[in-house]
Chains A and B, each alone.
Chain A
Amino acid sequence: MPIIESTLLCKKYDNRYVLRNINMSVEPGQVLGYIGPNGSGKSTTIKIICGITETFEGEVKVFGMDVRKHFLEIKQRIGYVPEQAALYDLLTPIEYLRFTGLLYNMPEDKIRNKSLDLLRLFELEKQASDRMNSFSKGMKQKVLLISGLLHNPELIFFDEPLSGLDANAVILVKEILLQLKKAGKTIFYSSHIMDVVEKICDNIIIIKDGEIIAEGSIDSLKEKAQRGSLENIFTALTGDEAGNVNTASDFINVLNG
């Protein structure tokens, strides 16, 4: 049974479709890369699958359950790691994890023990009782990662988890993704750049203007790109090197002028 299954999923805002006929099926233990430029409908898709948005057309099943009806049960088994270190940074890591842990209905002693252990693994135990407003982005992101995984979810959503992280933290997150994959978790990785995706994802879906334009393993996608059908979108998602080189040399010319 697939963990996520959507058939003919459509969503419209103000009479304009932002998602059109999204069909996907994610098997247990799979790592899915959900890639598309900004504004292509990635967040909307995640909101629907997580049971946050109820109004949509088509059918979406998570763990075999209808998201419209069983959103509480589904949310309980899902972990979500957002981008941009969005957390209540006036709290300490311990307090924040207690806050989220309680929202996920975890017993108090379990929250405390697990948070301490995980903070130690992330080398944050010395700052465990400091308010997070003095933390760097990377430190906050680590806390967010813990808070998304604390209740041991089966399915984990990563929404641009690397934005704003320093090089070391990026390596750490990549490693965690691999370990989670090994542990049999299903991962839904959403991003606007290919970067990490190609290394860890079993399957990649490319979405543009609310529609799936390609799907498959990274190799098959690359092959398609070379044959021309995907070239434009691929350069946009991987970064257009030729264009950037031109801008950079213009920049130097102005400085010298």
Chain B
Amino acid sequence: MDKPLLFILLWVIKKINPTDVSFPHLEIIVRTKLLLDKRRPLAAGFKQKGKERKNPLTFSLIMYGILGIFFGGVILGAESFVLPLIVYHSYLLVMMSLLLITDFSSILLDTTDNIILGSKPITGRTLFLARVVHITIYLGQFFIVLSFFSLLAIFFKYGFITGFVAICTSLLIVLFSVFLTYILYGILISVFSEDKVKDIVGYFQIFITVLMMAGYQFMPRLMDFGADETFVPHIYTYFIPSAWMAFTLEAINTGSWDTMHIIMSVCAVVIPFFTLWIMMKFLAPLFARKLGSLGNVQGKRQTNNAQQSKIGLSQKISPVFCKSNAEQAAFEQTWKITGRDKNFKIQFYPGIGYFLVLGFITIFRGGQDIQSTVTELSSSGKYLWLIYLPIIIATSAIYLLPFHENYTAAWIYDTAPVPTPGKLLSGGLKAILVKFFLPFYFVMAATAISIWGPSVIDDCILGLFNDIFVFYLIATIADKYLPFSQKQSADQQSGKFARTLLQILIIGVIVGMHYFAAMIPWLVLALSPVSIAGIVYLQRRLAQTQWSAIKS
């Protein structure tokens, strides 16, 4: 899809024939960058662990396109006019902003580009134009796949004029998302250091992935908008950009130009252009200034004094959970690296989001309003979902723990006098439990108790031990690698299906047992010691793992 876009843009530029721009340079730079886009593993979206797709960009475009079909379906199927269009414009706004935010970083903060291209005899204007063309094509592709089917549906359902205006409103939304990105980057760059900005952008990438997954869960459910749903605009509706667009389209389609519709339409047209003016006038110069100083950040970071450096949380709590030095070292290392490694975060956090979305859909399915949902829930047995959801998430970290970009650093385990490598395994696993399971579990248990009342306290207690038992059971069955000692590779992916199946099976059996035990009031608490004994046994076994059992 990039080829025709490139062709059109190059044609336009040739016609304009700007001064100081070398056309062959421009073309080869943009072509090379588009090629790199195709080969670069995606930062966000549908990244598969370790698996190398031949063309990740095309794949993700197709996936966005499929999601776009859902939106088209919603617009076609819904009887309400405004609501699906608000959803569509909001989706476009959020996705374009997130894509801009995440991809802006690679353009903005990538200095290798300056080194490679900066040393070549290319004019500054050519370079600037090449960047503009490149990002326009990149985002253009996403814009097309995101909006194509929805626009098609609008054309089909509401006719040519509304359809044409819908293209305009979609483009205005894109303009607005550019503004949002500018604002956000303006804030980030003024407040944080370069490294921090990269970190924060990383979180947006995670957010994008979760949003995509949630989209796939929610969109089919949105298809059946009720027939009687007419959207009454509240006062806050006037602040939602996607509402301006939707109401403008409604006015165009129905021809009813009352005060509300006129205000909305004016907002829809004026505000995006106003933001454009702000960007040109104020934000762009501010950016140029800030970016100029970005490279010099290193110099002023000398405030970090080693003596005053604060002791991290992991160092404070590691003695509570760990007995030996080796265990403590692995605990702290796992704690710190899982909080900093972008690869780990990108693979782990979307999983959390996914399971949360899935969990809540299962629990709160079909409820109209919160009040009746809660009363309905409290008479059901679904609290087990809440209690066992956290462990599904924590166990997924077990399989991520062995992998690290800098895996060669694991030589230290070999040369250090570690009595048994089991101590390292056990320290790493404890860090996962304490960091990713316990806080999450207590939130879930508190939620369960507040909905179902104190009668589920005993279930929460047994659930806690069962969760930890399941965690150690899965860790015992899993291949044993030392933390962060393996290269990310395609092998990581093999057997994933069987692994997940086993995981579900184990958790299913435990939940089933808990479900039946809950029928006899005293049994739930009585089973807790059994569970604890299981934990102690498995934990000790793991901590005694010998070198011969460690895979490498």
* Alpha-carbon distance A102/B336, docked complex (angstroms): 15
A220 an interface residue at 8 Å Cβ cutoff?
Answer: no
* Cross-chain contact of B408 among A50, A78, A86, A91 (Cβ < 8 A): A86
- Which chain A residues lie closer than 8 Å to B484 at the CB level? 88
Selecting from B109-117, B230-238, B302-310, the interface stretch reads B302-310
Chain B neighbourhood of A88, CB < 8 A: 333, 337, 404, 406, 409, 484
Interface stretch among B184-192, B211-219, B274-282, B413-421? Answer: B413-421
B341 to A75, Cβ gap below 8 A? no
Rounded to whole Å, the gap between the CB of B403 and the closest CB of chain A is 13
CB-CB under 8 A from B315, the residues of chain A are 98
B152 interface residue, CB < 8 Å from A? no
B428 smallest CB distance to A (angstroms): 12
Across-interface contacts of A92 in B (CB, < 8 A): 309
B residues in contact with A127, CB < 8 Å:
304
Select one of A90, A100, A119 contacting B416, CB under 8 A: A100
- In the complex, A217→B412 CA distance in Å? 32
Question: When chains A and B are docked, how far (Å) is the Cα of A116 from the Cα of B308?
Answer: 11
What residues on A are CB-neighbors of B497 within 8 Å? none
Q: Give the residue name and chain of the B residue nearest to A71 (CB).
A: B417
Q: Are A104 and B417 in contact (CB under 8 A)?
A: yes
Place the interface of chain A in its size category: 35 or more
B304 CB contacts on chain A under 8 angstroms: 126-130
Chain B positions within 8 Å of A50 at CB level: 414-415
B516 contacts partner chain A, Cβ-Cβ < 8 Å: no
Is B406's CB under 8 angstroms from A105's CB? no
How many angstroms between the C-alpha atoms of A95 and B298 in the bound complex? 20
Cβ–Cβ < 8 Å partners of B265 in chain A: none
Query: Known contacts being A91-B336, A126-B302, A126-B304, is A103 close to B326, with CB within 8 Å?
Result: yes
User: Taking A103-B326, A119-B306, A127-B304 as contacts, is the C-beta distance between A89 and B406 under 8 angstroms?
Assistant: yes
Within 8 Å of chain A (Cβ to Cβ): is B522?
A: no
CB distance from A15 to the nearest CB of B (A): 21
| A134 close to chain B: CB less than 8 A | yes
Which residues of B lie under 8 Å from residue A52 when comparing CB positions? 414-415
Contacts of B302 in A (CB 8 A): 126
Given contacts A50-B415, A86-B411, A89-B406, contact A129 B309 (CB under 8 A): yes
Q: How far is the CB of B442 from chain A (nearest CB, A)?
A: 28
B195, A134: Cβ atoms under 8 Å? yes
Partner pick for B306 among A80, A102, A129, CB 8 A cutoff:
A129
Judge if B328 is at the interface, Cβ distance under 8 Å: yes
Q: Which A residues are in CB contact (< 8 Å) with B54?
A: none
Name the distance in Å between A3's Cβ and chain B's nearest Cβ: 17
CB pair A72 B409 closer than 8 Å:
no
The answer to whether the Cβ of A223 comes within 8 Å of any Cβ in the partner chain is no
Residues of A near B336 (CB, < 8 A) are 90-91, 95
**In the bound complex, do residue A99 and residue B409 qualify as a contact, i.e. CB atoms below 8 Å apart?**
no
| Complex Cα spacing A100 to B416, Å | 8
Q: Is B290 interfacial (CB 8 A cutoff)?
A: no
A102 touches B328 (CB 8 A): yes
Kindly report which residue of chain A lies nearest to residue B404, judged by CB atoms. Answer: A88
Report Cα–Cα, A99/B331, bound state, in Å.
Answer: 10
Q: Is B221 an interface residue (CB 8 A)?
A: no
Residues of A within 8 A of B406 (CB): 86-90
* B301 surroundings in chain A (CB, below 8 A): 130
With contacts A90-B340, A90-B341, A95-B336 taken as known, whether A103 is within 8 angstroms of B306 at the C-beta atoms is: no
Closest to A148 in B: B415
Report the Cα distance A73→B304, complex, angstroms. 38
The reply to whether the CB of B325 lies closer than 8 angstroms to some CB of chain A is yes
Interface size on B, residues (CB 8 A): 35
Contact with B along A66-81 (1 / 0, CB 8 A): 0000001101101010
Whole-angstrom CA separation of A134 from B109 in the bound complex: 14
Contact status B195-A103, CB under 8 Å:
no
Assess whether B144 is interfacial by the CB under 8 Å rule. Answer: no
* Distance to closest chain B CB from A102 (angstroms): 4
Q: Give min CB distance, B427 to chain A, whole Å.
A: 10
Q: How far is the CB of A247 from chain B (nearest CB, A)?
A: 26
Q: How far is the CA of A105 from the CA of B326 in the complex (A)?
A: 8
Tell me if B332 and A78 are in contact (CB < 8 A). Answer: no
Q: Are B417 and A75 in contact (CB under 8 A)?
A: yes
Quote the shortest CB–CB distance from B411 to chain A (angstroms).
5
Q: Once the chains are docked, how many angstroms separate the CA of A72 from the CA of B414? A: 10
Considering only CB atoms, which chain A residue lies closest to B308 in the complex?
A129
**Chain A residues positioned under 8 Å from B312 (CB to CB):** 95
Which chain A residues numbered 193 to 230 have a C-beta less than 8 Å away from chain B?
none
The complex places the Cα of A47 from the Cα of B333 at a distance, in Å, of 24
Q: Could you tell me the distance between the alpha carbons of A254 and B394 in the complex, rounded to whole angstroms? A: 60
Complex Cα–Cα for A84 and B411 (A): 12
B329 within 8 A of A: yes
Tell whether A20 is near chain B: CB-to-CB under 8 Å.
no
A129 to B309, CA, bound (A): 7
Query: Distance (Å) between the CB of A161 and the closest chain B CB?
Result: 14
Interface positions, chain B 333-382, Cβ under 8 Å from A, are 333, 336-337, 340-341
Interface centre among A88, A100, A104 (most CB of B within 10 A): A88
Q: Establish whether residues A99 and B415, one from each chain, have CB atoms under 8 Å apart when the complex forms.
A: no
Q: Which residue of A lies closest to B331 (CB)?
A: A102
The one of B195, B306, B329, B413 in contact with A131, judged by C-beta atoms closer than 8 angstroms, is B195
Alpha-carbon distance between A37 and B428 when the two chains are bound, in angstroms? 38
Taking the closest CB of chain A, its distance from the CB of B431, in whole angstroms, is 13
Closest to A100 in B: B412
| CB closest residue in chain A, given B413 | A103
For the complex, what is the distance from the CA of A73 to the CA of B411, rounded to whole Å? 18
When distances are taken between beta carbons in the complex, the residues of chain B under 8 Å from A82 are 411
With a cutoff of 8 Å between Cβ atoms, the chain B residues found around residue A131 in the complex are 195, 340
B-contact bits for A20-41, CB 8 A (1 contact / 0 none): 0000000000000000000000
Residues of A within 8 A of B337 (CB): 88, 90-91
Q: Which residues of the partner chain B approach A102 to less than 8 Å between Cβ atoms?
A: 325-326, 328-329, 332
Is A125 at the interface (CB under 8 A from chain B)? Answer: yes
CB atoms of B306 and A125 under 8 A apart: yes
User: Known contacts A86-B411, A90-B337: does B309 contact A103 (CB below 8 Å)?
Assistant: no
Report chain A residues within 8 Å CB of B416: 75, 100, 103-104
A116–B336 Cα gap in the complex (Å)?
A: 20
Residue in B328, B332, B340, B409 whose CB lies within 8 Å of A87: B409
Name the A residues within 8 Å of B412 (CB-CB). 87, 99-100, 103, 147
Given contacts A73-B417, A90-B341, A100-B329, 20 further A-B contacts (CB under 8 A): A50-B415, A52-B414, A52-B415, A75-B415, A80-B411, A86-B408, A86-B411, A87-B406, A88-B337, A89-B409, A95-B336, A99-B333, A100-B416, A102-B326, A103-B412, A103-B413, A116-B306, A126-B305, A130-B304, A147-B412
> Which 10 residue pairs spanning A and B have beta carbons closest together?
A128-B306, A102-B329, A103-B416, A75-B417, A129-B309, A86-B408, A76-B417, A80-B415, A90-B340, A52-B414
12 A-B pairs whose Cβ atoms sit less than 8 Å apart in the complex: A50-B415, A52-B414, A86-B406, A88-B337, A88-B404, A88-B406, A90-B340, A91-B337, A100-B329, A103-B418, A104-B417, A129-B309
